[in-house]
Amino acid sequence: MVPVVLLATSAIFQAVVYFHGLQAAHLAANQGLFAAEATDGTAQAGTSRATDVLAQLGNPLSAPSVNASRGPETATVTVTGSVAELVPGLALHISVVSRGPVEVFQAESAP
């Protein structure tokens, strides 16, 4: 009975750790996207911002990887990593992609 209770408790804590990591990855990817898609943004700015957000959150992902790209019309930021393994043999991997249009400055036309 005790092993079952311990396994169930570990599974609950594993779910909490997983969803915390997932939320952190979403936040980092979205913040990186905001930096990359800005009018003066770059892919490097997106990568840097996403990495900074993960660091501010206490690095909830093991071996995190952040990749950003910016094209003429869209910017994309991908955050991947793994969460701590609390249940033996249950390795959970997280991958989040945020994509959005690049901001373009258009001068106001004279009336």
For the stretch 78-100, pLDDT in tens is 999 999 988 888 899 999 999 99
Identify whether 39 is part of a domain: yes
Identify whether 47 is part of a domain: yes
Identify whether 15 is part of a domain: yes
Identify whether 106 is part of a domain: no
pLDDT per residue over 17-51, tens digit each?
Answer: 999 999 999 999 999 999 999 999 999 999 999 99
Q: Do residues 28 and 94 make contact, with C-beta atoms less than 8 angstroms apart?
A: no
Q: What is the number of structural domains in the chain?
A: 1
Identify whether 110 is part of a domain: no
Identify whether 30 is part of a domain: yes
Identify whether 111 is part of a domain: no
Model confidence at 110, pLDDT cuts 50, 70, 90, reads low
Identify whether 17 is part of a domain: yes
Model confidence at 70, pLDDT cuts 50, 70, 90, reads very high
Q: Which residue in 102, 33, 104 sits closest to 67, CA to CA? A: 33
User: Domain of 28: which CATH number?
Assistant: 3.10.450
pTM recorded for the entire structure? 0.87
CA dihedral defined by 29, 34, 38, 42, rounded to 10 degrees? Answer: -30
Domain that holds residue 84: 2-100
Task: Map residue 11 onto helix, strand or coil.
Answer: helix
